[in-house]
Amino acid sequence: MIHKKLKPFPPHFLWGAASAAYQVEGAWDVDGKGVSNWDKFVRIPGKTFKGTTGDVAVDHYHRYKEDIQLMAEMGMKAYRFSVAWTRIFPSGRGEINEKGIEFYEHLINDLKAKGIEPILTLYHWDLPQALQDEYGGWESREIISDFTRYSVELFKRFGDRVKYWVSLNEQNIFTMLGYRLGAHPPGVMDDKLFYQVNHHANLANASVIKEFRKYVPDGKIGPSFAYSPAYARTSNPKDIIAAENAEELNSHWWMDIYAWGRYPKAVWNYIESNGLAPQIEEGDFELLSQGTPDFMGVNYYQTTTYEENPLNNGAGIAKINTTGEKGTSEDTGIPGVFKTVENPHLERTDWDWNIDPLGLRIALRRITNRYNLPILISENGLGAFDKLEKDDVVNDNYRIDYIRTHIEAMQEAISDGVDVLGYCVWSFTDLLSWLNGFQKRYGFVYVNQHEEGEHDLRRVKKKSFDWYKKVIASNGTVL
Ligand code: BGP
């Protein structure tokens, strides 16, 4: 559909950028912070690119003032960040660490003073290690009350100033990589446990949303889902059903429960017949239906194309590209269900991520059609090798192209009738990429941080910085 005239972005549109505590803060053992699962995992040899850790990350903990000053200079309207649970409750529960509260207190106040709307993520993957050791973290239902207690503390402390909250960041990714691919902590590969862990995370998500209503009645909360719309490789019905399987298993499985408190039927019956269904207890679905969100947070990076995957000798779990050597990722699948395949119509990044702006419009329309909820684009951006040139210049024209085309697609979707609350680019400063180290960069601000060699952590504005500044100032009319 071509619109003769595009709808403008709404007047208070949240033009922003996003980050996560472990990826920016550093100061991993400072001011009473406890040890998280990531603090531990990165110390296991071979787990991250060149053994990178977030011990220092980009030192945002000590340099947040400078970073916020840069955000203000850019004119940013919103900043999405996450709280490190281990700063607030070093052992996950029990005594509160006031020093941790103080840090976020200052961060939030500083943002507000500069007219930047804070968007607070409660959980962006850094689980207190103490809870993993004590009861297996997400593997136990005990996590529900501990996560709720921690979240309620933040609602009480910051609910008067923070109006936008993200509950869980990319539950689909942290559980998939943690419990199916074994690539994130706790490094497990167990399909049945994967579904059980997800059920607990769903309950924890619903429980905090339910509590949120009591403490922050005028706020908005939702999870951030990593949505990669499924395409079929051909019009062969066998490829179409493979893509439908992927859409249901990889997306509706999570978004249906968030929005409606129920699991999609086809997936439930599939996992049940394969002995993978989670244990449900009385009252679970009641809680799930009471804890529904105000918006769907969407982290969009790419679409995925699927084809038929035979049951016998079909493709299974395969290698992911964490080096930036183009073409080193392999197609992956579930035998008898689907298999991924390269899309010949799309360019790929050096990490083999498809570049597909139109896919964002498709994503936004599909979510709107199915759930009819407002959408916060909580992440979107391009990971690339940036080059710091002479006189501190970074010419990241490829990033400008990526973001521009995605903003255009977002405006098309708004014109289609999608209610988009805001757009957070991943990321503001460069930061640590979980498995890819500091070489995979996303920021508008270059940070001189590397695995090896000179790294004085200085901040350098990239070309995209000035470009996005103009986008914001013109409310998306100058792209
Ligand atoms: C999302 C995560 C972010 C961020 C981003 C980029 O899945 O929510 O934390 O890391 O992806 O991913 P990567 O660093 O692997 O390129």
Ligand 1 atom at shortest distance from the alpha carbon of 23: 9
> Residue 318: is its pLDDT beyond 90?
no
pLDDT digits (tens, 9 = 90+) for 299-308: 999 999 999 9
Band of pLDDT at residue 121, cut at 50, 70 and 90: very high
Q: Whose CA is nearest to atom 10 of ligand 1?
A: 433
CB count within 10 Å of CB 288 equals 23
Q: Whose CA is nearest to atom 13 of ligand 1?
A: 433
Burial grade of 358 (CB within 10 A; 0-12, 13-18, 19 or more): middle
Residues taking part in catalysis = 379
If you measure from the C-alpha of residue 301 to the centroid of ligand 1, how many angstroms do you get, rounded to a whole number? 9
- Token digits for 49? 């690119």
Ligand 1 atom at shortest distance from the alpha carbon of 440: 16
Ligand 1 atom at shortest distance from the alpha carbon of 20: 9
Q: Whose CA is nearest to atom 2 of ligand 1?
A: 170
> Residue 194: is its pLDDT beyond 80?
yes
Which of 19, 52, 175, 426 to mutate to test ligand 1, by most ligand atoms within 8 A of the CB atom? 426
In this prediction, residue 359 carries a pLDDT of: 98
Q: Whose CA is nearest to atom 4 of ligand 1?
A: 433
pLDDT digits (tens, 9 = 90+) for 126-140: 999 999 999 999 999
Rounded mean pLDDT of 460-464?
A: 98
Angle, CA 129 vertex, CA 284 and CA 29 arms, to 5°: 135
In this prediction, residue 454 carries a pLDDT of: 79
If you measure from the C-alpha of residue 61 to the centroid of ligand 1, how many angstroms do you get, rounded to a whole number? 20
Q: Whose CA is nearest to atom 12 of ligand 1?
A: 433
Ligand 1 atom at shortest distance from the alpha carbon of 435: 15
If you measure from the C-alpha of residue 433 to the centroid of ligand 1, how many angstroms do you get, rounded to a whole number? 6
Instruction: Output the average pLDDT for the chain.
Output: 97
Angle separating helix axes 191-215 and 253-260, nearest 10 degrees: 30
If you measure from the C-alpha of residue 269 to the centroid of ligand 1, how many angstroms do you get, rounded to a whole number? 31
CB neighbour list of residue 446: distance below 8 Å, 6 or more residues apart: 386, 388, 394, 430, 459, 460, 461, 462
In degrees and rounded to multiples of 5, residue 326 shows phi and psi of -50, 135
In this prediction, residue 91 carries a pLDDT of: 98
Band of pLDDT at residue 453, cut at 50, 70 and 90: confident
Rounded mean pLDDT of 97-103?
A: 98
pLDDT digits (tens, 9 = 90+) for 402-436: 999 999 999 999 999 999 999 999 999 999 999 99
Ligand 1 atom at shortest distance from the alpha carbon of 224: 8
Which of 264, 442, 280 is CA-nearest to residue 349?
442
User: Is-above-0.95 flag for pTM?
Assistant: yes
Q: For tokens 């990044």, what's the residue?
A: 349
- Token digits for 258? 């968030």
d(CA 77, CA 313): 51
Band of pLDDT at residue 33, cut at 50, 70 and 90: very high
DSSP-derived 3-state class of residue 104 = helix
> Residue 110: is its pLDDT beyond 90?
yes
Burial grade of 29 (CB within 10 A; 0-12, 13-18, 19 or more): exposed
Rounded to a whole number of angstroms, the CA Rg of the chain reads: 21
Rounded mean pLDDT of 370-391?
A: 97
In this prediction, residue 428 carries a pLDDT of: 98
Band of pLDDT at residue 317, cut at 50, 70 and 90: confident
If you measure from the C-alpha of residue 435 to the centroid of ligand 1, how many angstroms do you get, rounded to a whole number? 9
Which of 147, 166, 177, 172 is CA-nearest to residue 18?
166
Ligand 1 atom at shortest distance from the alpha carbon of 125: 9
If you measure from the C-alpha of residue 401 to the centroid of ligand 1, how many angstroms do you get, rounded to a whole number? 19
In this prediction, residue 48 carries a pLDDT of: 94
Q: Whose CA is nearest to atom 15 of ligand 1?
A: 433
> Residue 473: is its pLDDT beyond 90?
yes
Amino acid at 268: W
Band of pLDDT at residue 326, cut at 50, 70 and 90: very high
My answer on whether omega of the bond before 82 falls inside 30° of 0, hence cis, is: no
Q: Whose CA is nearest to atom 9 of ligand 1?
A: 20
Would you say the ipTM is above 0.85?
A: yes
If you measure from the C-alpha of residue 427 to the centroid of ligand 1, how many angstroms do you get, rounded to a whole number? 9
Pocket lining for ligand 1, CB < 6 angstroms: 20, 23, 169-170, 173, 226, 299, 379, 383, 426, 433-434, 436, 440
pLDDT digits (tens, 9 = 90+) for 241-268: 999 999 999 999 999 999 999 999 999 9
Rounded mean pLDDT of 457-474?
A: 98
> Residue 185: is its pLDDT beyond 80?
yes
In this prediction, residue 464 carries a pLDDT of: 98
In degrees and rounded to multiples of 5, residue 141 shows phi and psi of -70, -15
In this prediction, residue 1 carries a pLDDT of: 87
